[in-house]
Structure 1
C-alpha cells in the first residue's frame, strides 16, 4: 500500500497542502483547532514526513520578497500593504523593493532577494524582463502584469469588462468624444488596457476617440489631460492610478469642472478618487483580492504543490458623479 502523502493529509483535513504543512510544523499562524484536526488526520493515515523534505524545510528563512514598480502609486502601495499583512498572518516576513518602473532595477532587486535566500518572490514585471527570472532558484509569482513567454504563474486582472462598461456608460450619458490616457507599451497592462479601449470604442461605435500615449505617472497624466482637453474631448478615461491623479490636477489647473464640463473616469479605487467635489467614477481591479490571491498562490508553490492556473479577475466600473451626468449636445456646439 502506498505511503500517505502530505496532500492526502490535507485532503482528509479539508485544508490546503500549505496549511497542513504549517499545522504539522506547529506554526502559530494556524488555529489550534486546525492544527489538532490535521495532526489527527496525519495519525489516522500513518503519515510519515519525508526526511529530505524535512531537511529542506529546516533551511527555509520564512521570508518572501516583493518587487513593485512604485510605492508612491496608491495601487502598488496598497498591494504591498495587503501582501505584507497577509504574509504576517502566515508566519512570513516580507522584504519589499521598489523598482521605479525600471527593468534594470528589477533585475538588481531580484538578484538581491535571491542572495538573501528568500523562500519565494512576488514580482510586478516589465515586458522583456524574462531573463531576470530565469535563474531564480525559488518559486516566483507575477502580480498585475504578465510575461507570456516566461511560463510563470500570474495573478492579473482583465481590463476588458471595466473598460467596456466605462465606454458604454459615457455614450449612454451623451459623451461621444472620448479621450484615453494610455500607459507605456513596455508593460502588459499598458498594452492590454489600450487594446481594451480600442475594442470597446469599436464595439460601441464611438464617434471620436483621442489617445495620449504616456506612462504610469502623475506628470504624464497631467500633460496628457491638457493635451486631450486641447483636442476637445468631452470625456477622459485614465489608464492607471497615477495618471488619474495627474488628470485631476490638470482639470483643477484649467478650471475644468469635473462632472459638468468634463466626464472623468479614473483607474483603481482609492481615497483620492472619492474625496473630490465630484467623486470620480473608476475602473476597479480590487487590489486587495489580487494581492491576497497572489500570496496564497506563492505559499502553495513554496509548499511544493502545483495549483491549477489562476484565472484573471474581472475589472468593474464604479459609477460616481464625475461621469454620471447627461451632456446636452447644444452646450458643445
Structure 2
C-alpha cells in the first residue's frame, strides 16, 4: 500500500508589513503607494509594487468592500468631558457633522492611553466612516495602524511627532507673544507661566513660545510651573508662583485658568489689581468675573469645524494638508492691569494700543 502524501502546508498570506519591509519604506508609505496616492514618487511606487509582486501580496478585497460601505457615523474622542474647552470642541464637531447628515459617537479617554485604545477599537468595530481624535502620544502606533487599515482619521487640538496623520490645532504664537508683550508694556517684570504636560504637543509648544516671547521682551528666565491640564494643577501652580513673587500669571489652558482663579480668590487677591492674570480659551464664565479675564483665545468652535472639514476631505478621497494650525488671539480685558506699584502711582489707565495686524489683540475693557 502506497504511503499517504504529506499534508499540504498552509502558506500564510503576505501582509502590507511584509511588503513595506522588503521595499524598505514605512507601512503608511506602502499603503499610499499601492493606493496611487499623488504624494508618493514614481520611483517609490515602482519599488513598492515590485516588492508586493515578489511576496505575492494581494489586497483583501473583502475588507476593502466592507470599508467602502458607509454607516453614516463618525467617532470623536476627547480627553475630558468636564473640561469646557473639549466640551465646546465636541459640540462644534457634532453640529458640523449633523449638518452633513452624520451622527457622532463620543468617547471620553480621561487623558489615558488605555481608555483611548479601547475607544478606537470600539469605533472600528462599529465601522464608523471616520474618526476625529484628540490623541495621546502613547497611542501613536495604534492611530497609525487605524489609518493604514483605511479608516479616515484626523487629530484634533494636538499633533503627533513621527506621523503624517492630518492634524488641526491652534498656533499659540500670536496670542502668547501678544500676551507677554502686553504684560511687559504694563510694567510687569516677573511673569509666571502655568505650563501644560510636556507629553503633549500643546504643552511643549506653548511653553517654548512663552519662553521665546519672554526673551524677546528682555525678560528671560521667567518662573514656570510644570503642571497638567487640571484645575488642581492650576491651583497648586498659582500658589507656588505667587509665593515666588510674580506680579502676573499666564495660564496654559482653561482648566488651569479656573484653578488660578480659585487660588487668587482664596488668598483674597483682586485679579487685575493685586495680580494680573491671563487665561487660556474664551470661556463665557471668564467674562463674568469682577475683573473680566484677558484670555488667549483658540477659537475652539472654528477648530472643531475645521477638524470635521478635514475629515470630510479624507472621507471623500481628497488629500488635505498634513498640518493645519489656526492662529490664537489675545482678548484684552480688565484682569491684566499693571503691577500694584504702577497702578498706585496713577489712577489713569494706560492708553489702548491699536489692534495688531492679523487680529493678535482685541481690547474689551469693561466699564465697571
TM-score range, shorter chain: 0.7 to 0.9
Is 1:76 the counterpart of 2:89? The answer is no
Q: Equivalent residue of 1:157, what SS?
A: strand
Residue aligning to 1:260:
273
- 1:180–1:238 CA contact under 8 A, matched in 2: yes
Structure 1 unpaired stretches of 5+? 1-51
Q: Does the 8 Å CA contact 1:173/1:327 hold for their aligned counterparts?
A: no
CA distance in 1, matches of 2:337, 2:272: 7
Deviation for aligned residue 1:225: 0.5
CA contact 2:154–2:165 (8 Å) conserved in 1: yes
Which residue, out of 241, 256, 275, partners 1:228?
A: 241
**Residue deviations 1:209-251 (CA, integer Å, cap 9, x gap):** 2111110000000011011111110000000000000000110
The answer to whether the aligner puts 1:247 opposite 2:260 as a matched pair is yes
- Give 1:166's match in structure 2, choosing from 168, 174, 179: 179
Number of the residue aligned with 2:332: 319
Distance in structure 2 (CA, Å) of the matches to 1:270 and 1:328: 30
| Aligned partner of residue 305 in structure 1, secondary structure | coil
Spell out, residue by residue over 1:51-86, the C-alpha distance to the aligned partner (whole angstroms, 9 max, x if none). Answer: x9xx76872101000000101111000000011011
Q: How far is 1:324 from its partner?
A: 3.4
CA offset at residue 152 of structure 1? 0.2
The within-5 A match list for 1:57-96 is 59-96=69-106
TM-score (norm 2): 0.73
Secondary structure at the counterpart of residue 94 of structure 1: strand
Supply the distance in 2 between the matched residues of 1:113 and 1:330 (Cα, whole angstroms).
55
Among 207, 210, 223, the residue aligned to 2:223 = 210
Instruction: Give the secondary structure class of the aligned counterpart of 1:145.
Output: coil
Q: In structure 2, what is the Cα distance between the partners aligned to 1:207 and 1:128?
A: 33
Partner Cα distance (1:146, 1:128) in 2 = 13
- The alignment yields a C-alpha RMSD, in angstroms, of 2.0
Larger radius of gyration: 2
1:312 is paired with a residue whose SS is strand
Q: Report whether the alignment pairs 1:301 with 2:314.
A: yes
Deviations 1:275-321 (A, max 9, x none): 10000000011101110011011011111111344531111100000
SS in 2 for 1:236: strand
Cα separation, partners in 2 of 1:126 and 1:84, compared to 1, 3 Å: same
Displacement of 1:108 after TM fit?
1.3
Contact 1:177-1:207 at 8 Å conserved across structures: no
The runs of 5 or more residues in structure 2 that have no matched partner are 1-61, 346-368
In structure 2, do the counterparts of structure 1 residues 212 and 326 end up closer, same or farther at CA, with 3 Å as the change threshold?
closer
